[in-house]
Amino acid sequence: MPRPSPFRLIPALAASHLRHDWILTLCLVVALAAVIAPLLVLMGLKHGTIETLRERLVEDPVFREIRPAQTRQYAPAWFDEVARWPGVAFVTPTILPLSSVLQVVHPGTGRTELFDLVPTAAGDPLLLENGARIPGEDQLVLSHEAARRLGVAAGDRLTVRVTRSRAGRTEQAEEVLEIVSVLASRAGHLPRIYAPLSLVLDVEAYKEGYGASRRGWPGETPEPHLSFDGAILLLESPLDPIARTGLVINTGFARMQEASSERIRALLGFTPPSRLHAYELLTPGTAITLSNLRAIEQKLRGQERWLLPYVTQVRLHAGTGLPGSPAGLSLTPEQAASLGLDPLPWGGFTGTAADGDRLASVLLPGNVEVPASRLVLGSDGVAPLALELWVRGQTDLDRPVVPVELLGVLRTATQRAVIHDPEGRRFEMARGGYRGFRLYAQGIDDVPDLARRLEAQGIEFIAEVEAIERIRILDAGLSRLFQLIALLGISGGTAVLIASLYASVERLRRDLGVLRLLGLARRHVFFFPVAEGAMIAALGLLAAFAGYAALAMTINRTFAGELAPGERFCALPPSHVLTAIVATLSLAVLASLVAAWRATHIDPAEAIREQ
């Protein structure tokens, strides 16, 4: 019959000994459970309370929102930059609060109510985490309060109205939109409409007097203003220094100086007749606008004059098809004849960019072979601009000639984004920026970091940073408190195990000596108290978890009225349970090492002497 392995025999002997001394074993198990169970309850309360508070903050997007506290300009590129910040879940532009008020027609009574219009987009956590869908074009989402006031639900259609006052009369535009969702009440108690940014911008533009052609709302087109780098003034009679000074005062120009024929040719592409006296009007570092030119015209009224603005700071793309940099000239037939130039097909200076078809014209030098009837002109600016120029004929000048208004538009495009609509054949001023934002963090722990980044940019904001910091401080404080109590309890439990196992070895000196006589080595006897310690720890854990489960159930039932479905004040996640098991067994094994060391020093001869 094969002999049993000592490593199997020792645990069996340890279990038999614990059953034999069951009263002492029970006392040890109860003592150990009395140490472990309160620690488990304390750890469960810490985790359950903190996680309940955290989940309430995390689940409510309001606590992850950061809003601007002041109105300022935010460039479109700023939103692209912020969207790439770590911890940002969603960001979208907003408009001025006064422009975001929308009239809504009550379906039942026909009366109108004023609601806030809020832009939204894909990924908006306020909508997605409150049971709503992201609205598309001609769709909207209502807050709970807005739906209650109107008596509508998802699937209904709603008429919204935008009003404005222009030229002393009141105008209005209407749009019928579909309600795709109604937000849960926790998303806010204000009557609000959430709609795509395109609708919000159209509402703002209409209130500012502009139109929205895609919606059929009439209004002006945001036409870009013209800007220039300077102007050439041609006069029949010379000006004395005093007259020059008087001409500059209150016109916005910084100085006035004589201009040579070479200078004029470099700027305008032609040499003026020798009978004329030429002066250059400058505002270094600042663009010249129509108001500056009109101020000069007003002071020179009644005199024969030619005021020709020019542009030098426009960089054209390479390969545009133009043989050289174009000169900008806009002259009436009479003005062209008096300057010795051929008539220009687009006529005189209008000071406006409204007629985009007129501006897209070019005359090519006679010695240049025209490759096509249209050429592409592009320029660098805030937004790259490219348009087709129609070749209207030839010029005697050695440079291409375009309307000066076109160069004025391109000059403005270096400061503000300008769009060219090829279908409508017009230039439009693109939006230069937005007046606010809606920003949501991925989690509440990301809010303080994002708040610091906004603060570094000088942006004042509104965020629940203090509430989040209070949770984090409470979590850290409870963690330190738990560590201190756990250290005290673990120290007591370890001392109890060390003393008990050491005393057990002393009581079993004769028995362990007999085992040595029967052939067990020191290393085999070493594992006897280790096995006993592990078994006592396992039984203590079972008793502690049973006590924890009963007390945790009592706590959660007591506070059930304060908790939402699924929330618990006392709860241990699986990772904490596993940590408790591993820590307890490890400490029990370490505590048994002293007794195990004592067992290996028992002399087998002691068993013979006692016999």
pLDDT of res. 319: 58
Residue 187 confidence (pLDDT): 82
pLDDT at 346: 92
- Whole-number Å distance between alpha carbons of 430 and 425: 15
**How far are the Cα atoms of 43, 482, 483 from residue 477, in angstroms, in the given order?**
13, 9, 10
Q: Is 74 helix (H, G, I), strand (E, B) or coil?
A: strand
Which residues on neighbouring strands pair with residue 437, listed in sequence order? 93
Exposure b/e, 271-307, CB count within 10 A at least 16 = b: ebeeebebbbbbbeeebbbbebbebbeeeeeeeeebb
The pair of three-digit structure tokens given for residue 512, joined into one six-digit string: 């362990």
C-beta separation of 89 from 121 below 8 A: no
How many residues are present in the chain?
A: 611
Is the backbone of residue 364 left (phi > 0), alpha (psi -120 to 50) or beta?
beta
Splitting the chain (611 residues) into consecutive groups of 10 residues, what average pLDDT does each group show? 55 70 74 76 71 60 82 85 92 86 86 90 89 90 91 90 82 90 86 92 85 81 86 91 86 90 91 92 88 90 90 69 81 92 91 82 78 69 77 87 91 82 76 84 84 88 74 69 69 65 56 54 64 76 82 74 62 75 72 59 53 49
User: How many Cα atoms occupy the beta-carbon half-sphere of 447 within 13 Å?
Assistant: 24
Q: How far is Cα 523 from Cα 5, in angstroms, rounded to an integer?
A: 13
Residues 6+ apart with CB under 8 A from 523: 600
Residue-wise over 108-139: b if at least 16 C-beta within 10 A, else e? eeeeeeebbbbbbbeebbbbebbebebbeeeb
> Residue ranges of the domains in the chain?
6-59+467-610, 66-220+433-462, 230-429
Asked if residues 348 and 405 have their Cβ atoms less than 8 Å apart, the reply is: no
Quickly count helices (H) and strands (E) in the chain: 18, 21
Query: Rounded to whole angstroms, how far apart are CA atoms 554 and 556?
Result: 6
What pLDDT is recorded for position 232? 94
pLDDT computed for residue 1 by the predictor:
39
- Spell out the residues 6+ positions from residue 378 whose beta carbon is closer than 8 angstroms to its own: 316, 317, 320, 384, 385, 386, 387
Best CA proximity match to 463, nearest among 57, 17, 18: 57
Handedness of CA 520, 521, 522, 526 (dihedral sign): negative
CA distances to 509, 538, 547 from 25, rounded to whole Å, are: 18, 12, 18
Torsion of CA 337, 342, 233, 404, to 10 degrees: 140
pLDDT at position 234 is 93
φ/ψ of 371, rounded to 5, equals -75, -25
H or E stretch including 199? helix 197-207
Q: What digits encode the pLDDT tens for the residues 259-285?
A: 999 999 999 989 999 899 999 999 888
CA distance 561 to 179: 35
Residue type, 412: T
